[in-house]
Structure 1
Amino acid sequence: MLLAAGSSSRLGRPKQLLAYEGQSLLQHSLQVALEAGTGPVVVVLGAKADEVGADLSGEGVHTVFNPEWQEGMAASIRCGVRHLQQVAPSVEALILMVCDQPFVSPQILQSLVKAHQDTGKPIVTCTYAGTFGPPTLFRKSLFPQLLQLTGDVGARSILKQYANEVEALPFPEGKLDIDTENDYQQMLSGNRTA
């Protein structure tokens, strides 16, 4: 599940549409998710949905509009989980991604799945900059908790609540996400751990 509903207020323009390696950040993230081959991809849109979602297509790609996108990331997670349950009811887990982490690769997503299979842990997340963060895999048994999230803090509360059931994989490049013009310039300069 790829979250792309935010308004990018700190950046002042839709970060989903920033150019990266000949395509938008959102298209890049979608390509990564598809190349990982881990299942259908639900893209959650919100702010400027018509513009942001204009070029999203492909087999296994499902877009959904989150009418509550202004509430924050939790509303997008809830919207995406509900949509995923409709389009792929037999799915056993989901990987939560954000579109502003340019250095996520198909291999990282595949590593999350493998760690989940190898350890049996219901949550497999990435670690960078001394904290947990996306991309993060959640087993289906935790979908009800994802559907209860509120506010703009994402799923971090679930990671804390189930701390003993979390498998963590190092992903130092995950530290760079694009929230400001400076972040974008860091990415363009090739600095992978700004």
Structure 2
Amino acid sequence: MSENEIIAVYLAAGMSRRMGTDKLGLPFGSTTIGNSSLQAAVNSQLNHIIVVTREEDSLNWIDASLFRGSYRDRWSQIKCTDADKGQSNSLKCGLRAAMELRPIGIMILLADQPSLSFTIINDLILRFGKLRQEQRNFPFIAASFQGIPRPPIIFSIEIFPELLKLEGDAGARQLFKKQASLKSLLVNYESESDFWDIDTMEDYYRVKGAVQDHD
């Protein structure tokens, strides 16, 4: 594996407590919530995607096309046995698997961000690569809207040990408050819809309706 490769950790092990049902399999356009951003990831310049799930996940929310041909080589599943103890546990499961592939950076993606496009993923990868070429020392580069950091986020290899120390349900958000150089590492995007996440039924109907209106 070359030192320019970026591995994604795709967090799909949430319990959907606020939703009241497994949200990843809910219809979204012509696919499902969970498959939508996974499809974007496999069509991007990411080198591999590690899909972190609960043990009992049947993956029925993933479209059949992603199990065939070259698509199937683009991702792999990691079952997190302690996913119910908080998002940081799912994150660490994925990080450990990603680190075995010895990447120079790890991108964090959320399975409940169905409007995310592969163009944003590719843009962050390009910017990350340029920063590395300039030998700039930085912990991460993150997408943002109106100055607020949002996934996707690419973490540099130097900060991997810090990620493995995270606890609880806040996930990587805990690190944002610790980095004085945060603002210089945010990439602002103009459309809030790119970063919509779905936590409740109200979110689902709002986002789904907005996508249908746009279509």
1:158 aligned to 2:172? Answer: no
Residue 144 of structure 1 and its aligned partner are, at CA, apart by 0.9
Contact 2:23–2:33 (8 Å) recurs in 1:
yes
1:115 aligned to 2:127? Answer: yes
Contact 1:100–1:177 (8 Å) recurs in 2:
yes
Tell me the residue number matched to 1:170.
188
* Structure 2: gaps (5+ residues): 1-8, 133-137
Tell me the residue number matched to 2:204.
184
Contact 1:176–1:187 (8 Å) recurs in 2:
yes
Could you state the TM-score of these two structures normalised by the residue count of structure 1? 0.88
- Alignment counterpart, residue 77 of structure 1, candidates 71, 91, 105: 91
- Alignment counterpart, residue 126 of structure 1, candidates 138, 143, 148: 143
Moved over 4 A (4+): 51-56
Residue 155 of structure 1 and its aligned partner are, at CA, apart by 0.5
* Percent of residue pairs bearing the same amino acid type: 27
Residue 53 of structure 1 and its aligned partner are, at CA, apart by 6.6
Contact 1:45–1:53 (8 Å) recurs in 2:
no
Q: Give the distance between the partners of 2:50 and 2:28, measured in 1 at CA.
A: 21
* Structure 1: gaps (5+ residues): none
| Structure with the greater alpha carbon radius of gyration | 2
Contact 2:34–2:62 (8 Å) recurs in 1:
no
Contact 1:7–1:47 (8 Å) recurs in 2:
no
Aligned positions of 1:54-93 closer than 5 A: 57=67, 58-86=72-100, 88-89=101-102, 91-93=103-105
How many equivalent pairs are there? Answer: 190
Give the alignment's Cα RMSD to 1 decimal: 2.1
Could you state the TM-score of these two structures normalised by the residue count of structure 2? 0.80
Structure 1 window deviating more from structure 2 (113-122 vs 152-161): it is 113-122
Tell me the residue number matched to 2:107.
95
